[in-house]
Amino acid sequence: MTLQKPFIIILLLLLPGCLSGQNLQKHYVSRNVEGGLLYFIKPMKLFQSCKTACYFDQTIKPHNDTIDIGITLTNRQAFKVDSVVLINDDTIIGKRITHLFTEQVKNKWDCRFFVYLTREELSILYKETPPILSFYGMENSNIQLKIKLKDWKKILEINRAIYRQIKLNE
């Protein structure tokens, strides 16, 4: 009987890691490209309300310190983003973006763009507290998104597991 207790405790400690490891494949793809493995983390929902939605995906290139983060921002009014400010705790990261397109989809507008973060900036972003994202654009307009803690914890768990796996394969 005493042998079963340590076995059960070890199993309970290992089980969450095993489960997230099995589920990681649905969250990213990797491809062998010249220079190593390229990782694409599939789109995740950062925020959604009746007025605004925000999805982001990530591309990690082999032997590159920069992560390409693709963001699709959906809004009721036409909006062209030219910069983004990420705020987490006492850290503020302001970045220019590369605008891809703005197009109308039914009664809303999609704005697609890329922001490039270093791995160090990304680690600042991926703290326990969710970041606040401020998107700046046309005519000094601003859309600010606050991510729910519950949603952020899911994103954080998935991304940390994927980045651990990437680090092991470097």
- In this prediction, residue 11 carries a pLDDT of 30
- In this prediction, residue 7 carries a pLDDT of 32
- In this prediction, residue 63 carries a pLDDT of 75
Nearest to 59 by CA among 86, 45, 80, 38: 38
- In this prediction, residue 36 carries a pLDDT of 81
CA count, 13 A, side-chain hemisphere, 21:
7
Which of the pair, 152 or 24, is modelled with greater confidence?
152
- In this prediction, residue 138 carries a pLDDT of 76
Specify whether the CB–CB gap between 66 and 117 falls below 8 A.
yes
d(CA 25, CA 162): 9
The mean pLDDT value for 23-29 works out to 86
Q: At what angle do helices 4-23 and 149-169 cross, to 10 degrees?
A: 90
pLDDT tens for residues 77-122? 888 899 999 999 889 999 999 999 999 999 999 999 999 999 889 8
Class level of CATH domain 27-169: mainly beta
Q: What would the two tokens of residue 35 be?
A: 């220079």
**DSSP-based helix, strand, coil % in the chain, nearest 5:** 30, 50, 20
The mean pLDDT value for 22-29 works out to 82
- Cα 126 to chain centroid distance, Å, stands at 9
pLDDT tens for residues 125-165? 889 999 999 999 877 788 898 888 998 999 999 999 888 88
Q: Is the pLDDT of residue 71 over 90?
A: yes
Please report, for the chain, the start and end positions of each structural domain, with discontinuous segments joined by +.
27-169
pLDDT level of residue 3 (50, 70, 90 thresholds): very low
**C-alpha dist (Å) from residue 163 to 16, 79, 144:** 17, 32, 27
Write down the pTM of the prediction: 0.79
